[in-house]
Amino acid sequence: MHSSLLVSYRGASVMIDCGLDWLGKFERLHPDAIVLTHAHPDHAWGLKKGALCPVYASQKTWRGLEHCKIEDRQLIKERVPNKICGITFEAFAVEHSILAPAVGYRVSAGRASDERKLTAKLRAMATEPGLEARIAYDGMDLILR
């Protein structure tokens, strides 16, 4: 399957990216919302036939998805925290493609104690090959390589 991540918090779930091989399949996950990083086929074309939930993306990403039949299109602005299903997503520009400009997301939810538990789990996971967890002074970054 192409890149995708399901983030859940207090009974709500948000899917990050929905590549072409999710076409006709992602619905069984019943996401409450979908957030897109960019308009490449392996990240967004699973939505060609639409979605039953709101879909969030940057203006540049929406320009690349005019062919998708998404009714509930929500705009995400860079460096502005967006609360989606109780989870905060803050978009920031990343270098990826000239043709399909991309954003990454800082994702947060819950109280500081919840974040400390998550930090401990991420540090433990960082010992696994191919996964790095970097704890920043003002929050947390999860980098998948």
Per-residue pLDDT at 125 exceeds 70: no
Per-residue pLDDT at 126 exceeds 80: no
101 shares a domain with 144: no
116 shares a domain with 98: no
Instruction: Tell me the pLDDT band of 144, cut-offs 50, 70 and 90.
Output: very low
119 shares a domain with 68: no
Per DSSP bridges, beta strands 139-144 and 131-136 are antiparallel
What is the rounded distance in angstroms from the CA atom of residue 35 to the CA atom of residue 72?
12
56 shares a domain with 66: yes
Per-chain mean pLDDT for the chain: 83
Summarised one tens digit per residue, pLDDT across range 62-85 is: 999 999 999 999 999 999 999 999
101 shares a domain with 137: no
pLDDT at 3: 77
pLDDT at 128: 54
Residue 79 has a CB neighbour count (10 Å cut-off) of 10
Instruction: Tell me the pLDDT band of 1, cut-offs 50, 70 and 90.
Output: low
92 shares a domain with 26: yes
Per-residue pLDDT at 8 exceeds 70: yes
Instruction: Tell me the pLDDT band of 99, cut-offs 50, 70 and 90.
Output: confident
85 shares a domain with 29: yes
Instruction: Tell me the pLDDT band of 138, cut-offs 50, 70 and 90.
Output: very low
What is the rounded distance in angstroms from the CA atom of residue 109 to the CA atom of residue 106?
10
With contact defined as beta carbons under 8 Å apart, do 96 and 103 qualify?
Answer: no
91 shares a domain with 46: yes
What is the rounded distance in angstroms from the CA atom of residue 9 to the CA atom of residue 1?
23
Q: Give which of 95, 96, 76 is closest to 87, Cα–Cα.
A: 76
The residue that leads in pLDDT, 98 or 66, is 66
CATH of the domain at 31: 3.60.15.10
129 shares a domain with 79: no
pLDDT at 118: 63
Per-residue pLDDT at 104 exceeds 80: yes
In the DSSP assignment, the letter for residue 126 is: T
Collapsing DSSP to helix, strand or coil, 121 comes out as helix
92 shares a domain with 52: yes
43 shares a domain with 102: yes
Instruction: Give residue 142's domain range.
Output: 111-145
68 shares a domain with 22: yes
The structural domain count of the chain equals: 2
